[in-house]
Amino acid sequence: MAGAGALVAATTLDLPGATPAQAQGVPVNQAPGFYRYKVGDITVTAINDGFAKRPLEGFVRNAELTDVKKAMASAFLPQDALNITFTTLAIQSGGKLTLIDTGNGDSGAPTSGSWMANFKAAGFDPKDVSSIVFSHFHGDHINGFRLKDGAAVFPNAEVMVPAAEWAFWMDDAKMNAAPDAMKGAFAGVRRVFGPVAKEVKQFEPGKDVIPGLTPVAAPGHTPGHTVFALTSGNGKLMIMSDTTNHPALFVRNPDWSAVFDMDGAQAAATRRKLLDMVSADRMQVAFYHAPFPAVGHIAKDGNGFELVPVQWTPAI
């Protein structure tokens, strides 16, 4: 009790152990959000792009709100809204720097858009990016490639996209037939990729896009949604992209469908298949929307699964 009383005092009085900002209740920003780890001889850097708050009601299409709130409570998360985080990956291999997706850029929510600051804090420069590999074309994955004013961000980068994703979003007939709620997404894709459309390289599943990085078809979230198996020596990492949104909901309940899944049934089947595979193979995984640094392993847990985060280490 004495220790607890001292803690309360330290947070309210100008005492040793309480900074002036803390004592006055002023928010203090975190350190830059990047985290490095190794996959064999390859260095992977997770780069955080903040978060966006999403109301919980209506977020899971095929589950009762009471069940969703219960899942949130079990994970010690708020029961009114979910903070959806964004984490891209930078891959250093063979003297080259490759990005998997580019974050929100300057088009995101007020609580996102920190990607470039974190990217530079990690010691990187946009001009040094040799390749950008996109998992799919939702705005939080592609908008960082081009600013709202049209300026390109990565002047020397080769752009690689899933062929099935390109075929869907660049199809005029599909855009014209899309509901009004989706027309903005089509326009966003064309804004980002239109100026470089002739240079974009399309890839198919199963063939390495760079040495050691193999695309794996993972449809449902979007028609051409893709995950990536990264291998080097004995190291293996499955980059899960948007196979799940927050793991507390969709890893534990793989049959649930997020509002962002374009084909909920197909997304759930893909999710369960991939989670079964990585859990059986004890393969390390990285998620776009898991809590930072968004890397760990998947353990089977009854009819669902559990994300087991990696232990943070100061050594790469």
C-alpha–C-alpha distance, residues 201 and 16, integer Å? 58
Round to whole Å and give the CA distance between 201 and 257.
31
pLDDT of residue 27: 62
171 contacts 186 by C-beta, under 8 angstroms: no
pLDDT score of 16 more than 90: no
State pLDDT tens for residues 238-264: 999 999 999 999 999 999 999 999 999
Using alpha carbons, select from 51, 46, 56 the residue that is nearest to residue 121.
Answer: 46
Q: Are 290 and 307 in contact (CB under 8 A)?
A: yes
Encode pLDDT of 101-136 as tens digits. 999 999 888 899 999 999 999 999 999 999 999 999
Tokens coding 297 = 């392993």
Q: Are 141 and 220 in contact (CB under 8 A)?
A: no
- Exposure letters 272-309 (e unless 16+ CB within 10 A, then b): bebbeebbeeebbbbbbbbbbbbbbbbeeeeebbbbee
- Whether 112 and 53 have beta carbons less than 8 Å apart is answered as no
Q: Is the pLDDT of residue 7 over 50?
A: no
pLDDT at 14 over 90: no
Average of pLDDT values for 261-283?
Answer: 98
pLDDT at 159: 98
Residues of the chain with CATH 3.60.15.10: 32-309
pLDDT > 90: what percent of the chain?
A: 88
Q: Tell whether the torsion through CA atoms of 11, 12, 17 and 19 is positive or negative.
A: positive
d(C-alpha 35, C-alpha 212), whole Å: 21
Are 134 and 141 contacting, i.e. CB atoms less than 8 angstroms apart? yes
Q: How far apart are CA 170 and CA 196, in angstroms?
A: 13
Is pLDDT above 80 for 80? Answer: yes
Residue 2 has pLDDT above 50, yes or no: no
| pLDDT of 65 over the 90 cut | yes
Distances (CA, A) of 255 to 20, 226, 243, 305: 48, 19, 12, 11
Q: What is the pLDDT of residue 29?
A: 79
pLDDT exceeds cutoff 90 at 152: yes
Domain covering 32-309: architecture: 4-Layer Sandwich (3.60)
CA–CA dist 99, 116 (Å, integer): 13
Q: Average model confidence (pLDDT) for the chain?
A: 92
**Where do we find the tokens 């190794």?**
38
Residue 248 backbone phi and psi in degrees, to 5: -60, -25
Q: Look at residue 10 in the predicted model and tell me its pLDDT.
A: 36
d(CA 258, CA 71): 14
Predicted confidence (pLDDT) per residue in 194-218, tens digit: 999 999 999 999 999 999 999 999 9
pLDDT band at 100 (very low <50, low <70, confident <90, very high): very high
Q: What is the pLDDT of residue 25?
A: 62
**Token digits for 300?**
């089977």
Q: State which amino acid sits at residue 87.
A: T
Structure tokens at 234: 């004995």
Q: What is the pLDDT of residue 314?
A: 92
Q: How confident is the model at residue 4 (pLDDT cuts 50, 70, 90)?
A: very low
- Residues 38-49 have a mean pLDDT of 98
Instruction: Determine phi and psi for 205, rounding to 5 degrees.
Output: -60, 145
Task: Work out whether strand 235-239 and strand 284-286 pair parallel, antiparallel, or are unpaired.
Answer: parallel
Taking the C-alpha atoms of residue 116 and residue 171, their distance in angstroms, rounded to an integer, is: 31
Task: Please give the Cα distance from 174 to 23 (Å, whole number).
Answer: 56
Q: Is the pLDDT of residue 229 over 60?
A: yes
Residue 26 — pLDDT band, cuts 50, 70, 90? Answer: low
Helices marked H in the chain — which ranges?
2-12, 20-23, 65-74, 115-121, 139-142, 163-169, 172-177, 180-193, 247-250, 264-281
Q: What per-residue confidence (pLDDT) applies to 108?
A: 83
